Chain A
Amino acid sequence: MPRLVSHPDEVKIVTKRFGQGAAAIDKYVELGGYEAAKKCLAQGPEWIINEMKASGLRGRGGAGFPTGLKWSFVPKQSEKPKYVLVNGDESEPGTCKDHLIFLHDPHSVIEGTIIAGLAIGAKTGFIYLRGEYRYLLEIMEKAVADAYAKGFLGKNIFGAGNETTGTEFNIITQSGAGAYEVGEESALMESLEGKRGVPRIKPPFPAVVGLYGGPTVINNAETIASVPHVITMGAAAYAAVGSERNGGTRLFGLSGHIERPGVYELPMGYSLRKMIYEVGGGVRGGRALKAVVPGGSSTPVLLPNEIDIGMDFDQVGKAGSMLGSGGVVVIDDQTCIVEFALRTISFYQHESCGWCIPCREGTDWLKKSLTRFHAGFGEMKDIDNIQYLAENMMGRTFCPLGDAAAMPTLGFVKKFRKEFEDHLNGKPCPFAKHVELAVV
């Protein structure tokens, strides 16, 4: 069972019911659950979307797109049914926050989905969990069944109307079967339609042509779980917790060489330095900090002199990286960055769906180059080749996986060029514990 952590600086909004047995529907209701959805049912779509816009809530999957704005793009009239899609295909290395939401507060995901459905006029929501999260899918399935039994889902939700005037909303849970790429919104729709998870060409965007060709809102599970709290607290109060243009809190996952790893809920804009040294208790074993990956493995690495920033979408962006999924991976001074870069690119090479050539070939060559490099068979020109390859993947693929692989690679090469050079001329890796086999 994943361990829960806490720190005095935390502002518990999304996590406030964690550890309290709120997976049981009666407990969730006792703790104020489903009141937000009832309020939204009474207030109507325009009010909901305005609240979401005013809250400053931005997509927690990584892109940081304003949630209210996203919902407002869905056309009011549509011949095809509209859908809400919850992305619980949590797969970005360094990220395990949705894991805890599904485990401890599944009804918040259901309630957020209902609210999103009310906002855009959808009658069906899908909650898609990665295949590895089977035990969490079972928790979600039970929560959905319980919500139906209470009349919170179905033909006449919350019994607010009668058979003709009632509002209908249904939720279907879905399991993936292992694929990082399916975390990309259009690939997720493909997977949900029973196909290979390759991305779609955009435009049209999902808000207009999404699942089964109908207008679709797709949000990350943490975003959706935040929605009921926005309604309960009020948009202004929620926005005030965070920083400018970044409403609310974020579930930051501290992992790697950190003294007290865990998922901490902190206000948007919280200092990265404090997050590492105070909330996380510093680098494990009192070692020196070498680097931080601030928002999941696809975000460019930050150096120890770059951590005096607030952790929100804008400030981390300004520092040359991304807030991404909020997975903060701490790296100590005994770590080989070339090996770390190799492990990172190996992941993207494994997960590239192969649809776009720059990504398929690029990740493969980067992996080969870095494998050879780490094994001590690199040449000086390889460093430039790695950089050239990564630069030429950027922006040349249908989905962001190509960028997700290229961006961190560029960060490692640019910021740790000397360490790459130290691997040259048959020198063994100064940190190597394992024998790497050269594949090329």
Chain B
Amino acid sequence: MSAASPETMSIFSPQLAARFDALVEKYPLKRSALVPMLLYAQDEIGYLSDAVISEIAERIGITELDVRNVATYYSMLRFKPAGKYNVQVCTNISCMLRGAYDLYEKFQEELGIGPKGVTADGVFSLEEVECIGACCWAPAIQVNYDFHDELTPDSVHGILAQYRSKATTGEQKNA
């Protein structure tokens, strides 16, 4: 392997780099790895930086433009940092009927940020999202990939406190 290969120059952790090495070999077509790779890269780096796009393009063997063209399609992918814990409040119909907007307002109030905002300490970000597939346990949210369901505005403080303490004890994101 040459010195300039992604393995030695990788901006990803050795574990993720190894995972990507395996991922591109998994499919009949290399670029089938693209969408999951973008998401896993974002999980580690926080967002799809220029360096992330560049390395993924190289790993798959397509242009950066091609990567960007695909990445911009998917709503979970972002191009600037979010908080360590990204709070996603579903306001779609089933959640809306059970008070999702009150919940969303309460999160804004507690965090002191608006839609798509990030708290000054970088711990939280907040966004309104479309249906997350928890309709029968509405209203529901996701914090990163964790689901929290059957919530009321009174649940908000406790949920945030839980993640705030995780952030200070230095637990891994998505743990």
B108 to chain A minimum Cβ distance, whole angstroms, is 13
Q: Mark A348-379, 1 if CB is under 8 A from B, else 0.
A: 00110100000000000000000000000000
Min distance, Cβ B57 to any Cβ of chain A, angstroms: 12
A194 is contacted by which of B70, B131, B149 (Cβ under 8 Å)?
Answer: B70
Cβ-defined partner of A331 (8 Å) among B91, B92, B97: B97
| Number of A interface residues in the complex (CB < 8 A) | 59
Q: Are B76 and A194 in contact (CB under 8 A)?
A: no
Whether A293 touches B29, Cβ cut-off 8 Å, given contacts A94-B135, A133-B133, A177-B38, is: no
Tell me which of A192, A263, A344 contacts B136 (CB under 8 A).
A263
Q: In the complex, what residue of chain A is closest to B28 when comparing beta carbons?
A: A212
Please tell me if A8 contacts chain B, counting CB pairs below 8 Å. Answer: no
- For the complex, is A434 an interface residue (Cβ under 8 Å from B)? yes
Contact of B94 with A179 in the complex, beta carbons under 8 Å: no
Pick the contact of A177: B29, B74, B94, B97 (CB < 8 A): B74
- Given the interface pairs A177-B76, A178-B77, A255-B135, the reply to whether A297 lies near B92 with Cβ below 8 Å is yes
The answer to whether B130 touches A180 (Cβ under 8 A) is: yes
* Chain A residues within an 8 Å CB radius of B34: 194
Contacting pair B135 A131 (CB below 8 A): no
Query: Across the interface, do A132 and B35 meet the contact criterion of CB distance under 8 Å?
Result: no
B75 within 8 A of A: yes
Partner of B74, one of A179, A212, A340: A179
> For the complex, what is the distance from the CA of A90 to the CA of B34, rounded to whole Å?
20
How distant is the Cα of A98 from the Cα of B131 in the complex, in angstroms? 14
Binding stretch for chain B, among A66-74, A168-176, A270-278 = A168-176
Quick check: A132 and B93 within 8 Å, CB to CB? no
A residues 174-210 touching B (CB-CB < 8 Å): 174-180, 191-197
A90: B residues at CB distance < 8 A: 133
B145 touches A327 (CB 8 A): no
Q: Are B70 and A195 in contact (CB under 8 A)?
A: yes
Most buried by A among B97, B131, B136, B174: B136
B60 within 8 A of A: yes
Quick one: CB contact mask for B50-94 with A, threshold 8 Å, 1 for yes?
Answer: 000000000010000000011001111100000000000001111
A343→B94 CA distance, assembly (Å) = 10
B13: min CB distance to chain A, Å: 18
B29 partner residues in chain A, CB cutoff 8 A: 193-194, 212
Contact (Cβ within 8 A) A194 B33 = yes
Contact between chains at A255 and B35 (CB < 8 Å): no
- B155: interface (CB < 8 Å): no
Q: A194-B32, A253-B136 are in contact. Are A179 and B93 (CB under 8 A)?
A: no
A175 touches B137 (CB 8 A): no
Chain B residues with CB below 8 A from A350, complex form: 75, 130
Given known pairs A178-B77, A193-B29, the reply for A3 and B93 (CB within 8 Å) is no
Question: How many whole Å from B130's CB to the nearest CB in chain A?
Answer: 6
Q: Is the CB of B35 within 8 A of A194?
A: yes
The reply on A115 being an interface residue by CB < 8 A is no
- Which residues in A have their C-beta under 8 angstroms from that of B33? 194
Closest to B135 in A: A255
Contact between B73 and A179 (Cβ–Cβ < 8 Å)? yes
Q: Are A132 and B96 in contact (CB under 8 A)?
A: no
Give the Cβ gap from B150 to chain A, nearest Cβ, in Å.
7
**With A and B bound together, what is the CA distance between A179 and B26 in angstroms?**
23
* In the complex, A347 has a CB within 8 A of chain B: yes
Q: Is the CB of A131 within 8 A of B138?
A: no
Is A81 located at the chain interface by the 8 A CB criterion?
yes
Contact call B38/A132, Cβ cutoff below 8 A:
no
Q: Residue of B at shortest CB range from A177? A: B74
The residues of B that contact A335 with a CB separation of less than 8 Å are 97
Contact A175-B35, Cβ < 8 Å, known A255-B138, A329-B97: yes
Contact B136 A96 (CB under 8 A): yes
Closest to B39 in A: A177
Q: Are A175 and B36 in contact (CB under 8 A)?
A: yes
Question: Min CB distance, A174 to chain B, in Å?
Answer: 6
CB A413 to nearest CB in B, in angstroms, measures 17
A179 and B75 contacting across the interface, CB-CB below 8 Å: yes
Name the residue of chain A whose CB is nearest to the CB of B174: A134
Residues from chain B with Cβ under 8 Å of A256 in the complex: 93-94, 97-98, 138
Q: A96, A124, A257, A340: which contacts B133 (Cβ < 8 A)? A: A96
Q: Is A92 an interface residue (CB 8 A)?
A: yes
Chain A residues near B75: list those with CB within 8 A.
177-179, 350
B106 touches A (CB below 8 Å): no
A91 within 8 A of B: yes
Q: Mark A57-97, 1 if CB is under 8 A from B, else 0.
A: 00000000000000000000000010000000011111110
Q: Is A32 located at the chain interface by the 8 A CB criterion?
A: no
Q: State whether the Cβ of A254 lies closer than 8 Å to any Cβ in chain B.
A: yes
B156 within 8 A of A: no
Residues 10 to 42 of chain B near chain A (Cβ within 8 Å): 26-36, 38-39
Chain B interfacial positions (CB closer than 8 Å to A): 26-36, 38-39, 60, 69-70, 73-77, 91-94, 96-98, 101, 130-138, 142, 145-147, 149-150, 174
Q: Other than the known A174-B32, A293-B93, A329-B135, what 8 A-B pairs have Cβ atoms closer than 8 Å?
A: A2-B137, A3-B150, A91-B133, A95-B131, A99-B134, A178-B75, A347-B92, A347-B131
Closest 9 CB pairs of A and B: A178-B76, A194-B31, A194-B34, A178-B75, A177-B74, A255-B94, A134-B145, A196-B73, A93-B131
What are 15 A-B contacts defined by CB distance under 8 Å? A92-B131, A95-B131, A96-B133, A131-B74, A132-B145, A175-B39, A192-B32, A194-B31, A194-B32, A196-B69, A197-B74, A212-B29, A256-B97, A350-B75, A434-B101
